[in-house]
Structure 1
Amino acid sequence: MITMKDIALEAGVSLATVSRVINKKDNVSAEVREKVERIILEQGYNPNNAARALAKKRTNTIGVVVNNLHDPFYHDLIRGFEDGVQNTSYKVIFCSVLGGDVDMKESYIKYLTNGVVDAVVLYGSYQSDENIVKYIRDTDLNYVMIENDIKELNCNKLLIDNYNGSIKAVEHLISMGHRDIAYICGNPNKKVFVERLNGYLNAMQNNNMHIEDGFMQYTTTDYHSGYEKMINLMNLKSKRPTAVLCADDAIASKAIMAAFDLGLRVPDDISIMGYDNQTVLPDKYRGPNITSIAQPLFEIGQESIQLLVDQLDNNKRNDYIRKIYDTYLVEGETVKSI
């Protein structure tokens, strides 16, 4: 008996692609559709029987893949995911990817999409996530991407306006009298940090602020390097900054520790600002509350789940949304007017 797997092998496509052809889905190229349909006809395969055999039992489970569940950044997001399934028939399972490990992420995605879940939420700000997202798309599952705006993919996208968030941060520092504003960048391979850097550069240019040599310090993938970069800034032989904007609060916490170790008072001697408004910081940080840019992470987590539940319950396959969430300033104790 000819099986759907036989059709897929002869056509050189995935089982999911054969399924989409059989079920008259839109997201298959005309060339591939024609090839699969021709092979089905030649082999005398019964698509109607195949469609019935393919019908999968609902699991009422949504899989969530994030880069590191232990990162304090995700606390509010996770609470939002959990709240999103309240009063529904669905449950959420979490997969944590340490260090943005692409192989681990691919392994989780293959596991989840093998009949384990009905839909997937992927928090992916790494450029390397593109192939993973395309794999999810080919499984024909509903999915939401958070903080990943791959242009050629038409799907649910929930994004944060990191660019304008950095502009708000710079303009806040300017409003406090600062003109010499340095920046400690984040991991250049992460979309969010690239956007935040561009926001800083744009805000400085639009406000006619000169960026002195050495004022832009680039970290590696490790927030600990924020300590070293702050030392570099304070040891500049030319003009030193009066304020330092950091790509996230973890970096800012290390910059503050470096300032303290140099005998500087924050914010009396140097103002330091972060991003993400993290309530829990690494290495048992005990410094002043960091002035920061916050994001509605709880709302994003909640709405991502609610969106998928609605699409699953109402059989919405191609009714995609793209939503951009605004950021807001949270004043702490690390910025002073000069």
Structure 2
Amino acid sequence: MKRTRVTIKDIAKELNVSASTVSRALQDHPALKQQTKDAVRELAEKLNYRPNTMALNFLKQTSTTIAIIVPDITGYFFSAAVTGIQDILVSSGYNIMICISNESYEEESRIVEKLSKVQIAGILVAPSSTTFNFDHIKKIQRNNIPLVIFDRDCEGVDAHKVLVDDYSGAFEAVEYLIKTGCKKIAHITGASDLSTNNHRLQGYLDALKKNNLPILDKYIIYAQGFTHEHGIKPTESLLKSNNVPDAIFAVNDRLAVSAMRTAKKLNFRIPEDISIIGFDDEPHSTYFTPALSTVWQPVYSMGMLSARILLGDIKRKEDENLQLRYEVFKTELVIRGTSKKL
């Protein structure tokens, strides 16, 4: 059976009044008799009438909907960031629309194109790993839609940005491995044009340079994605080579966990034969044996701050100059069982 939504016209027809009268009654217009208002409200409640928020926003040329564009929502990182964003926006009276790009530049561009055609209060975006052209992001700005870029940078785009100090987190992790006696440290990374990957790679490289350890191309392996499955082949290629590393620093926890499982299948002892450190500190990291050493980053706080900055921009007066915010959160190295103790 087809479900139909009750409209203002339905209420008006039932009461034999105009649609504008119903609309004004629902908004408690002072010019209407209280008897008319009561009759309209009583029938609206009986028919389970719910206002069309998007239509009202269109008429008022305002919106209470904010879009969040993220590459993925199945893992801990972006779900935690979205939760932080939601906790701020919903408590401030806004609705959120979660849009998932699935790590696709094309899908991300399509999402932005669709959002540009509807009334939207603001947009928060974490770019996909395949987004290297930012014309669609700049289009958001040209449409005067408040924008905050978080987690992954869009270099060259002047906008509010909330990021994490990926470089320092990676540098600290690799230097720790060196201090525990590791001298052949491999790095499993991802797409070379993604800002977070580049910053973590540079931290890895600089830690080796500072400690006078050689940089070997064969120890830098590029995974085809960020899931557990994507870490198997890179780890196998490292552990089945003629010059096996004594440590692996992975660009995220999922690849690190995959490296752990693969190493165990190949009969490597962790951390006696090989140390492993990840990046993210996902909740499940503590439930493995041994528990995963990793780099913690304040994801929830990053989401909350991103939302607060966006709200500040939305509420900014038209004649008030825009002061762009560039915020960088610090990370923390968390040592558990997959790396040797100092």
* One of 326, 329, 333 as aligned partner of 1:329: 333
Query: Within 1, Cα distance between the matches of 2:110 and 2:230?
Result: 30
1:231 to 1:148, Cα distance in 2 relative to 1, 3 A: closer
1:193 aligned partner:
197
TM-score normalised per structure 1: 0.76
Instruction: Tell me which residue corresponds to 2:238.
Output: 233
Q: Pick which of 242-251 and 307-316 moved more.
A: 307-316
One-letter identity of the residue aligned with 1:294 = W
Match of 1:121 in 2: 124
8 Å Cα contact 2:164/2:331 also seen in 1? yes
Asked if structure 2 preserves the Cα contact closer than 8 Å seen for 1:177 and 1:337, the reply is: no
Residue 111 of structure 1, CA deviation? 2.2
Which amino acid in the other structure matches residue 113 of structure 2?
K
1:13-52 aligned at under 5 Å gives the runs none
Q: What is the SS of the residue equivalent to 1:214?
A: helix
Equivalent residues of 1:125, 1:191 under 8 A apart: no
TM-score (norm 2): 0.75
Contact 1:180 1:211 in 2 (8 A): no
- Tell me the CA shift for residue 280 of structure 1: 4.4
Judged with a 3 Å threshold, the aligned counterparts in structure 2 of structure 1 residues 199 and 308 are, in CA distance, closer, same or farther, namely same
The 3 A distance-change label for structure 1 pair 154 and 189 is: closer
What's the CA shift string for 1:42-95, capped at 9, x where partnerless?
xxxxxxxxxxxx996221121100001113321221111111124312122111
Partner of 2:82: 78
Residues 156 and 212 of structure 1: CA distance in aligned 2, closer, same or farther (over 3 Å): closer
Q: What are the superposed Cα offsets for residues 208-244 of structure 1, whole Å, 9 maximum, x if unpaired?
A: 1123463222222354232222222222223x22211
Structure 1: gaps spanning 5 or more residues: 1-53
Q: Conserved in 1, the CA contact under 8 Å of 2:226 and 2:254?
A: no
Larger radius of gyration: 2
Aligned match of 1:39: none
Structure 2 counterpart of 1:332, which letter? Answer: R
Percent identity, please. 25
The amino acid that maps onto 1:273 is I
Shift of 1:266: 1.5
Q: Distance between the aligned counterparts of 1:331 and 1:108, measured in 2? A: 40
Equivalent positions of 1:1-338 (< 5 A) are 57-98=61-102, 100-124=103-127, 126=129, 127-212=131-216, 214-221=218-225, 223=227, 224-238=229-243, 240-280=244-284, 286-315=288-317, 318-337=322-341
Asked if 2 retains the 8 angstrom alpha-carbon contact of 1:244 and 1:271, the reply is yes
Q: Partners in 1 of 2:316 and 2:216 — Cα distance?
A: 56
- State the Cα distance separating 1:136 from its structure 2 match: 0.9
Kept in 2, the 8 Å contact 1:147–1:159? The answer is yes
- Say which SS state the counterpart of residue 118 (structure 2) adopts: coil
The 3 A distance-change label for structure 1 pair 306 and 203 is same
Change (3 A) 1:130 1:280: farther
Rounded to whole Å, the distance in 2 between the matches of 1:93 and 1:333 is: 40
User: Contact 2:88–2:304 at 8 Å: present in 1 too?
Assistant: yes
User: How many residues end up aligned between the 2 structures?
Assistant: 280
Cα–Cα, structure 1 residues 146 and 173, in superposed 2: closer, same or farther, change >3 Å?
same
- In 1: Cα distance, 2:123 partner to 2:143 partner: 11
In angstroms, what is the RMSD of aligned CA positions? 2.3
- Cα distance per residue 1:122-161 (max 9 Å; x no partner): 1115442512211111111110011344444321111221
Q: Secondary structure of the equivalent of 2:183?
A: coil
Of stretches 138-147 and 182-191 in structure 1, the one that deviates more from structure 2 is: 182-191
How far, CA to CA, are the matches of 1:313 and 1:55 in structure 2? 20
| Secondary structure, aligned partner of 1:172 | helix
- The answer for unaligned runs of 5 or more in structure 2 is 1-57
Shift of 1:314: 3.2
**Does the aligned pair in 2 maintain the 1:186–1:248 contact within 8 Å?**
no
